Amino acid sequence: MTAGKSLSCIKCLLAITVIVIAAGTAFLYSGWYPMGADVPHNRVTYWMLETLRERSIARAAANLEVPADLDSSDRLLSGGADYNDMCAGCHLKPGKTQSDFTLGLYPAPPNLTRNDDGGGTNKAQDQRRFWIIKHGIKASGMPAWGPGHDDERIWNMVAFLKRLPELTPEQYQILTARGDDQAEHH
């Protein structure tokens, strides 16, 4: 009697699983999900993707060793120039509140002049930023800079990001301008 009941329960579970998989597959192939960047995800999808992203980055970046000299002026100068060339279009610079990229990308790139790219301890934030710059984030518009930039250069950008929210537009201009000097040094 009990064996028969549990058997029918298993059958029922199997049937539900098959139905869910079939329904999911049908939805995937139907093309009903809006894929345009101008239509936001529903809350459940957004939460799932965000949680997946944050947990994945936290796990992958946890063991990175942060250089002790991240507050050196040389790192600021080198990282600043790269930030201006590679990142400012999406992540903005002091005095700018939006760009075509911040308006059009989904999810919108964080405004790094306001430090709104996630909290955590200083060390965790440095590790997270390094990992994201180096490896990028799938389907977000954030490229992996690792293939063309060595780790030192990426740590320089992390160093610059630490001070970016405090900079005035004038300070930013001086720190990020490559000018003649860097041409001579490189």
Partner 1 sequence: MKLKSLSRFAALPVLIIALSVQAHDPKEHMQDAEKPDCKAMKDMDHSKMDMNDPVMKAMMQKCMKDMHHDEEEEASDSSTPNEDHGKHGQDNKKPSEHQH
Instruction: Point out which residues bind partner 1 (CB under 8 A).
Output: 71-74, 76-77, 80-82, 85, 145, 147-149, 163, 166-167, 170-171, 173-183, 186
CA triplet 91, 96, 102: central angle to 5 degrees?
45
> What is the distance between the alpha carbons of residues 96 and 86, in angstroms, rounded to a whole number?
16
Task: Please identify, using beta-carbon distances, which residue of 59 and 186 lies nearer to partner 1.
Answer: 186
Cβ closest to partner 1, residue 102 vs residue 173: 173
Amino acid at 87: C
The minimum distance between CB 161 and partner 1, in angstroms, equals 13
CB-nearer residue toward partner 1: 57 or 167: 167
Whether the CA torsion 6, 10, 11, 16 is positive or negative: it is positive
Q: How far is the CB of 84 from partner 1 (least distance, A)?
A: 8
- In which region does residue 127 sit, left (phi positive, over 0), alpha (psi from -120 to 50) or beta (all else)? alpha
Q: How far apart are CA 37 and CA 94, in angstroms?
A: 26
What is the closest distance, in whole angstroms, from the C-beta atom of residue 22 to partner 1 in the complex? 42
Query: How far apart are CB 105 and partner 1 at their closest, in Å?
Result: 22
Q: Which is nearer to partner 1, 75 or 91 (CB)?
A: 75
